[in-house]
């Protein structure tokens, strides 16, 4: 498994957190198991390979980060989604942006351009082109305004 796949799995879990009262740690304990991956692999090929230690740590860091900083990340999404109420934003798009913004803010080892490019590539699999552009625009504005010294 590569980091791109691990990131996409983290997006899946971040999406699930948005629909649950479950804490991020509980979700991870339930889902980061060989049995859970085997079950998911029946419908989603990316789960066919169980993550190695590095990927497990990466997924865990992203999901716990999104869970712990959800309100902050949603505030940034709302701030840069000019003319949109947060409640109208596609939930898949929100999950992608939460994970990416967490990477940008709290994982300096991931270059901002890489994080945004990965977000766009993930989005292309799940949402239409207009939403992909929307995600790219919000993330670009976010980086330029909130973390310009890192680019």
Give yes or no for residue 151 having a pLDDT over 60: no
Q: How confident is the model at residue 12 (pLDDT cuts 50, 70, 90)?
A: very high
Give yes or no for residue 148 having a pLDDT over 80: no
Q: Please report, for residues 9, 48, 93, the alpha-carbon distance to residue 128 in angstroms, rounded to integers and kept in the order given.
A: 20, 26, 10
pLDDT of residue 150: 45
Question: Residue 76 and residue 82: Cα distance in Å, rounded?
Answer: 11
End-to-end CA separation in angstroms for the chain = 28
State the DSSP string of 28-53.
HHHHSSHHHHHHHHTT-GGGSS---H
Per-residue pLDDT tens for 81-125? 987 776 678 899 999 999 999 999 999 999 999 999 999 999 999
Per-residue pLDDT tens for 26-56? 999 999 999 999 999 999 999 999 999 999 9
Q: Which domains, and CATH codes, for the chain?
A: 3-150 (1.10.940.10)
């Amino acid at each position: 498994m590569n980091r791109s796949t691990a990131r996409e799995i983290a997006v899946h879990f971040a999406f699930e957190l948005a629909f649950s009262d479950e804490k991020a740690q509980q979700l991870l304990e339930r889902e980061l198991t060989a049995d859970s991956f085997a079950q998911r692999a029946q419908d989603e090929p990316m789960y066919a390979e169980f993550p190695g230690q590095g990927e497990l740590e990466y997924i865990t860091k992203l999901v716990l980060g999104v869970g712990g900083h959800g309100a902050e990340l949603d505030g940034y999404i709302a701030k840069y989604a000019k003319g949109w109420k947060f409640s109208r934003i596609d939930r898949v798009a929100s999950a992608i942006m939460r994970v990416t913004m967490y990477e940008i803010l709290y994982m300096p080892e991931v270059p901002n351009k890489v994080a945004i490019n990965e977000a766009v590539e993930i989005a292309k699999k799940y949402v239409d082109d207009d939403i992909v552009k929307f995600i790219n625009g919000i993330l670009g504005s976010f980086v330029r305004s909130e973390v310009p010294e890192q680019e």
